């Protein structure tokens, strides 16, 4: 893969950190998006940097359109975006049958 910038949402969890590591090994700089786990996002960024890449950590809620735009804008500060990885997840406890009503 050529060099460029990746925006990784959900980058603070273990799966996100593994994805960040792989992206940086492929020569990409990585903007690590997170919702609430700043220390996890920092750990992912440190992995990217240890692989020789540049990293940024960006807090936001991908379910909020304004936050999503800010995540993209923040990632672009590292360079033009070439990859988007949506690894953010939402936990919605409750019966599966009623999920459409709860999700909206």
pLDDT-based confidence at residue 1 (cuts at 50, 70, 90):
very low
pLDDT-based confidence at residue 95 (cuts at 50, 70, 90):
confident
Q: What is the structure's pLDDT at 91?
A: 65
Which of 53 and 95 is assigned the larger pLDDT? 53
Residue 103 has pLDDT above 70, yes or no: no
The whole model's pTM is what?
0.85
| Mean of pLDDT values over 72-88 | 96
Q: Which domains does the chain have, with CATH numbers?
A: 4-88 (3.40.50.720)
**Residues in a beta bridge with 56:** 31
What radius of gyration, in Å, describes the C-alpha atoms of the chain? 14
| Mean of pLDDT values over 16-31 | 97
Measured CA to CA, the distance from residue 25 to residue 52 in angstroms comes to 8
Q: Show the CA angle centred on residue 96, arms to residues 92 and 97, nearest 5°.
A: 130
Determine contact, residues 82/6, Cβ cutoff 8 Å: yes
């Amino acid at each position: 893969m050529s060099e460029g910038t990746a925006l990784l949402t959900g980058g603070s969890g273990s799966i996100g950190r593994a994805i960040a590591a792989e992206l940086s090994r492929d020569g990409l700089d990585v903007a690590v998006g997170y919702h609430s786990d700043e220390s996890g996002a920092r750990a992912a960024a440190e992995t990217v940097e240890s692989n020789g890449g540049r990293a940024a950590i960006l807090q936001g809620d991908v379910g909020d359109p304004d936050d999503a735009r800010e995540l993209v804008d923040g990632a672009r500060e590292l360079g033009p975006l070439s990859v988007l990885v949506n690894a953010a997840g939402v936990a919605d406890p409750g019966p599966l049958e009623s999920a459409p009503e709860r999700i909206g």
